[in-house]
Amino acid sequence: MATVTEVIANETEIKRAMEVLRLDNWVDDLLDEIELDRELRISLEEDERGETMSLEEAEKQVNEKFANGYYDR
C-alpha cells in the first residue's frame, strides 16, 4: 500500500496532466526526476539492508548503461 507521500501514476497519466496544466515542456525533466528519486530510494533501502557492491561493479553497470543509450534522451 502506498504511503501518503507516494504518488501512483504512470508515464501517460503524468504527461496528460502536465499537458492540461500547460507544463508539457517540463514533462521529460519531471519524469527524469521521478526516476532518479525512485533509484535513490531503492539504493538507500539496499544500503540499509547491507546490500552493497564494489566501486568497480558500479562503474561497470553505469558504463553499460551509457553504452546502451540508457541516459540518452
Structural domain harbouring 41? 11-67
Work out the burial of residue 17: count CB atoms within 10 Å of its CB; fewer than 13 is exposed, 13-18 middle, 19 or more buried.
middle
Q: Is residue 1 part of a domain?
A: no
The predicted-structure confidence for 40-68, as pLDDT tens digits, reads as follows 999 899 989 988 888 899 899 999 988 99
Q: How far apart are CA 27 and CA 37, in angstroms?
A: 15
For 31, residues 6+ apart whose C-beta sits below 8 A from its C-beta are: 11, 14
Q: Is residue 27 part of a domain?
A: yes
pTM assigned to the model = 0.59
Q: What pLDDT shows up at residue 40?
A: 92
Amino acid at 13: E
The total number of structural domains that make up the chain: 1
Q: Is residue 60 part of a domain?
A: yes
Q: For a pLDDT cut of 90, what percent of the chain falls above it?
A: 32
Half-sphere exposure of 69 (CA within 13 A, CB side): 1
Question: Cα torsion for 21, 27, 29, 32, to the nearest 10°?
Answer: 130
Q: Is residue 63 part of a domain?
A: yes
The predicted-structure confidence for 14-44, as pLDDT tens digits, reads as follows 889 889 999 989 998 988 898 899 889 998 9
